[in-house]
Structure 1
């Protein structure tokens, strides 16, 4: 079995930390998440081009249907059965569901999300360059007014102290509570080791990945 993994750049460090040496990787831009149909198209193009492999792994969840409707006539496609990468970072869908039940209005940050500037403070700075600080702040207020806390997910990766401090800064900027949660690379390890049980969507060649498969 010859495998390759496609993953979001927000997950790059975690994937590299657990993958076996022979597993080839491609990391896609985080910005594709902003328009899930673009993510689907880009992933499908990568699938179609990966003809030398027979099994393709995805460091994604359903991701706003970004992985729904992917297909291949020759590859087995394997996707963690999660809503998005937050569940991957927390180690399970159940861990995310427990957090969501208690605190649904949460912004989750990790090393990768901060590196990709996929968070409110970086967004404010980008908007401020183009529109000025007053209008930029108005945009941020509209987008994030309902959030109540920022959670930093830390895993076994090293050198996370400055990322934790930055996540705390994001919380202070938004005027919301800050918390930390210990993450886990358990689900990613299962993905790259071929331990595909009920926590994964395993899509055989010739079939389309369906949204209902993630339920």
Structure 2
């Protein structure tokens, strides 16, 4: 029997670093972050991916959070281990071993990841242009960001988030949504615990064929 990691592409480099830190080498199966915009699409993506896994896989380490209900009513024939956090952003904001499902602040948008898989306002706009014409994309984009007044870079030590080029791109994103740019602390602690098997109250462990619900997921 074997273990695999199911990772949102937004967290791929974080998972790779966690495995390097913890000396593990589990195969990584990616979930495309573009489905995050609509949880129902991410849920279908998750179900399709789970159904395609080899029969010799018995444990799936999930590198993402509940993500807007993406895991609601999901079940499979294998053990699932998922950080008990609201979403990928809340996961990267966690810095201690104390259970805290959602450390995001109202009105704050967060940047994390330094590679092509990292979140960016520009990337969201480009994805909307692929789905809508420009007029509708602009409407949806403005609706999506109208309540965000802060854009925070998560400093987790995995890359130089103070690099001038990175900060300039982040500032351009902030300007685009009329937000103030700042830095907040983060870490990779949850993913390191996930891959090393240190599953405590910060994790939801679903035995085979357990139907995941929001109530079960966040109930400690």
Using the size of structure 1 for normalisation, the TM-score is 0.84
1:44 to 47, 51, 64: 47
2:8/2:63 contact within 8 Å kept: yes
Query: 1:33 and 2:39 equivalent?
Result: no
Cα deviations by residue, 1:118-170 (Å, 9 ceiling, x for unpaired):
533344456679755x7755543333222111011122223432333311221
Which range is displaced more, 181-190 or 47-56? 47-56
Aligned to 1:172: 175
Q: Counterpart in 1 of 2:6?
A: 6
Counterpart of 2:27 (choices 24, 43, 56) is 24
Structure 1 partner of 2:204: 201
Contact 2:151–2:182 under 8 Å retained in 1 = yes
* Residue in structure 2 matched with residue 143 of structure 1 by the alignment: 144
What is the distance in 2 between the residues matched to 1:168 and 1:140? 18
Mapped contact 1:117–1:123 kept (Cα < 8 A)? no
Structure 2 match to 1:184? 187
Mapping for residues 48-197 of structure 1, pairs under 5 Å? 48-50=51-53, 51-73=55-77, 75-91=78-94, 94=100, 96-97=102-103, 99-100=104-105, 104-111=106-113, 115-116=116-117, 118-124=119-125, 131=133, 137-160=138-161, 161=163, 162-197=165-200
SS at match of 2:90: helix
C-alpha distance after superposition, 1:99-136 (max 9, x if no partner): 42xxx011111126x7347533344456679755x775
SS at match of 1:94: coil
Q: Say if 1:142 and 1:206 are closer, same or farther in 2 by CA, change over 3 A.
A: closer
Q: Shift of residue 34 of structure 1? A: 2.1
CA distance in 1, matches of 2:129, 2:52: 39
Counterpart contact for 2:59–2:80, Cα < 8 Å = yes
SS at match of 2:67: coil
| TM-score normalized by the length of structure 2 | 0.82
The secondary structure found in structure 1 opposite 2:76 is coil
Task: Flag the structure with higher helix content.
Answer: 1
Unaligned runs of 5+ in 2: none
The answer on whether the counterparts of 2:128 and 2:141 sit within 8 Å (CA) in structure 1 is: no
1:27-65 Cα offsets, whole Å, 9 max, x none, are 111111122222222222222232221110111111111
Q: Any stretches of 5+ residues in structure 1 without a counterpart?
A: none
Please state whether the residue corresponding to 1:64 is helix, strand or coil.
helix
